[in-house]
């Protein structure tokens, strides 16, 4: 059975629908998405593996999910560090950053140094709306993610990958393979190229919305906001 | 050691501070508060005790927490029913109600009938800003809560209780003792009169804010958004 995935275009339409007829605010959706990401980190990298988590945040919604995840991780007892070089002027992201500052979570400027003193990396740089070129200052970050031996969890998409086609054929990002991936609401077509452990998060989609967008709400257990599925989609 | 509690006045100031210098939106705080409530229900009333949960929502923030909790409970597999007789015109509450309607969660008009066909009741009628008289149509609801044998979980305060002084000395509410209580952010002074199982929820308070308001952030475990403490406050 082929995995049902959500194209970049469908994912954008779903987001728009959740926030219009679905009546969710972006604050709510981002809180729940970031909570899912934090639960994946807790699952794949429990505190006894080392509490230092470097969260690389891009300028858009993917970065916002990373900021929320970092806050929850801080409350779980982790020591997150944030790399957030292109801060959005959007009020929501400014508030999410302030919430981290109030928890004394450090923001760092130099990603390649930060990579050397962390136990886990969260790639919250680009999400399903990424296409085209990796802009400055992110090429060096993607390169560091390709080269590091530290485990990496990507949020929604391995950054630099094309949402439909997966990793670039050559050059920057072509050898980037994160260890873990959290697909938010539903996997994107790129997952057919993904080889690590794969989770779905975002336990807020109604069955009727899922049906309309032709994907399945995965079977979450208990209170979990995440569920592990096979790298390419089936439930484990 | 006397339990540190938060007076009604201090709780209102804390809420205001979280949403100003704390940079939280009410959407975010309500999502996390409602999530806490849903986790308490899952803990004290697991699905095998019966999936029907009647959520009584008041017109303000306490009711909003109940609406969010009901949505999470629906996703966990419960069958919530909502009693929400005084719907707020506030846009946030309207959106929270719409999210439930999209999950086909029924809203009922007749509380005393609904009580007869449920397995658990959530009292999300009045919170820390309650004072004075119980207004229509809630006196009959409080009376039903006093008389029912179905277990009741109250959100932040047993409805009709005075936040500082506890249950009314006589008349309506004087014999209302919910089985479970979820104190949000910190217990209120009324807990000295409470005799059931007591939880604290709302894992978003920074140590600096807690210090300023002279209470302690409880020691949450793992991913939990709640922690059980003794009826009057000590950690179990």
Q: Of A22, A98, A223, which is closest to B39 when you measure between CB atoms?
A: A223
Residue ranges of A 141-200 with Cβ closer than 8 A to chain B: none
pLDDT of residue B234: 64
**pLDDT for the residue numbered B176:** 98
Give strand ranges (E) for chain B.
52-57, 79-83, 107-108, 120-124, 152-155, 180-184, 197-201, 226-229
The structure tokens 């991936």 sit at: A181
According to the model, what pLDDT value does residue A230 have? Answer: 83
pLDDT of residue B97: 98
How far B55 CA lies from chain A's nearest CA (Å)?
19
**Shortest CA distance from A204: residue in chain B:** B75
Residues of B in contact with A24 (CB under 8 A): 95, 99
pLDDT bucket at B2, cuts 50 / 70 / 90: low
* Contact (CB<8Å) B76/A222: yes
- Torsion sign (Cα): B158, B159, B160, B165: positive
Is B24's CB within 8 Å of A99's CB? yes
User: Does B130 belong to an annotated binding site?
Assistant: yes
Q: Is A61 marked within a binding site?
A: yes
Residues of chain A with C-beta less than 8 angstroms from the C-beta of B72: 203
Q: Is A126 annotated as a binding residue?
A: no
Predicted local distance difference test score (pLDDT) of residue A162: 97
Average pLDDT of span A138-150: 98
Residue A167 confidence (pLDDT): 97
Which whole number is the average pLDDT over B109-138? Answer: 96
Q: Is A156 within any annotated ligand binding site?
A: yes
pLDDT value, residue A114 = 97
3-state SS assignment for residue A235? strand
* Average pLDDT for A185-202: 96
- The answer on whether B133 is annotated among ligand-binding residues is yes
Is the model more confident about B185 or about A1? B185
A102 → closest Cβ in B22, B71, B222: B22
Per-residue pLDDT at B232 exceeds 80 = no
Collapse the DSSP code of A96 into the 3-class scheme (helix H, G, I; strand E, B; otherwise coil) and give the result. helix
Q: pLDDT digit string (tens) for B41-58?
A: 999 999 999 999 999 999
Q: Under an 8 A CB cutoff, do A76 and B42 touch?
A: no
* Average pLDDT score over residue span B187-196: 96
- Asked if pLDDT for residue A231 goes beyond 90, the answer is no
Residue-wise DSSP of B176-212 = ---SEEEEESS--GGGGG--SEEEEE-TT--HHHHHH
The beta-carbon neighbor of B31 closest among A32, A98, A203 is: A32
Helix axis angle for A26-44 and B26-44, nearest 10°, is: 50
Residue B84 neighbours by CB under 8 Å, 6+ apart = B57, B63, B67, B97, B107
Q: Are B186 and B5 in contact (CB under 8 A)?
A: yes
pLDDT value at A61 more than 60: yes
- Residues of chain B neighbouring A98 (CB-CB closer than 8 A): 22-23
Model confidence at A233, pLDDT cuts 50, 70, 90, reads low
Q: Is it the case that residue A202 has pLDDT exceeding 90?
A: yes
How distant is the Cα of B128 from the closest Cα of chain A, in angstroms? 23
Model's pTM, two decimal places?
Answer: 0.97
Pick among A223, A225, A226, A227 to test the B interface (most B CBs inside 10 A)? A223
Cβ separation A204–B71 shorter than 8 A? yes
Are A23 and B209 a contacting pair at CB < 8 A? no
Average pLDDT of chain B, as a whole number: 95
A31 neighbourhood in chain B, CB within 8 Å? 27-28, 31-32
The model's confidence at residue A144, banded by pLDDT at 50, 70 and 90, is very high
**Residues B55 and B83: beta-carbon distance below 8 Å:** yes
Residue A98 C-alpha, separation from nearest chain B C-alpha, in angstroms: 6
Distance, in angstroms, between B208 CA and closest chain A CA? Answer: 8
Q: In this predicted model, which residue has the larger pLDDT, A128 or B2? A: A128
Position of tokens 């094309």? A162
pLDDT at residue A236 tops 80: no
Interface of A with B in 200-229 (CB under 8 A): 203-204, 206-209, 220, 222-223
- In this complex, is the C-beta atom of A94 within 8 Å of any C-beta atom belonging to chain B? yes
Report CA B27 to chain centroid distance, whole Å: 16
- pLDDT of residue A11 exceeding 90: yes
Helix/strand/coil (H/E/C) assignment for every residue in A165-206: CECCCCCCCCCCCCCEEEEECCCCHHHHHCCCEEEEECCCCC
In this predicted structure, what is the pLDDT of residue A91? 96
Give the ipTM. Answer: 0.96
**Is B25 within 8 Å of A27 when comparing Cβ atoms?**
yes
With contacts defined as CB-CB under 8 Å, which chain A residues touch B25? Answer: 25, 27, 92, 95
Average pLDDT over residues A92-101: 98
What was the pLDDT predicted at A27?
A: 97
The whole-angstrom separation of Cα B185 and Cα B205 is 7
Q: Is the pLDDT of residue B22 over 80?
A: yes
- Domains assigned to chain B: 8-229 (3.40.50.10260)
């Amino acid at each position: 059975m082929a995995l049902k995935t959500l194209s970049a275009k469908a994912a954008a339409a779903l987001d728009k629908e959740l926030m219009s007829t679905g009546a969710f605010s972006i604050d709510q959706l981002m809180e729940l998405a970031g909570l899912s990401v934090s639960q994946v980190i807790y699952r794949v990298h429990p505190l006894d593996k080392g509490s230092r988590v470097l969260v690389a945040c891009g300028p858009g919604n993917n970065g916002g999910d990373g900021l929320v995840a970092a806050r929850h991780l801080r409350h779980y007892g982790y020591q997150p560090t944030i790399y957030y070089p292109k801060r959005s002027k959007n009020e929501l992201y400014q508030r999410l950053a302030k919430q981290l500052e109030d928890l004394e979570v450090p923001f760092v400027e130099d990603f390649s140094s930060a990579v050397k003193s962390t136990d886990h990396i969260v790639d919250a740089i680009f999400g399903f709306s990424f296409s085209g070129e990796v802009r400055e200052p992110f090429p060096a970050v993607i390169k560091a993610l390709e080269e590091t031996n530290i485990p990496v969890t990507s949020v929604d998409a391995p950054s630099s990958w094309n949402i439909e086609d997966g990793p670039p054929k050559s050059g920057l990002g072509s050898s980037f393979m994160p260890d873990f991936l959290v697909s938010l609401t539903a996997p994107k077509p790129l997952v057919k190229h993904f080889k690590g452990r794969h989770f779905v998060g975002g336990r807020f989609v109604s069955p009727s919305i899922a049906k309309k967008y032709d994907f399945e709400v995965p079977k979450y257990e208990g209170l979990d906001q995440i569920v592990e599925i096979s790298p390419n989609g089936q439930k484990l």
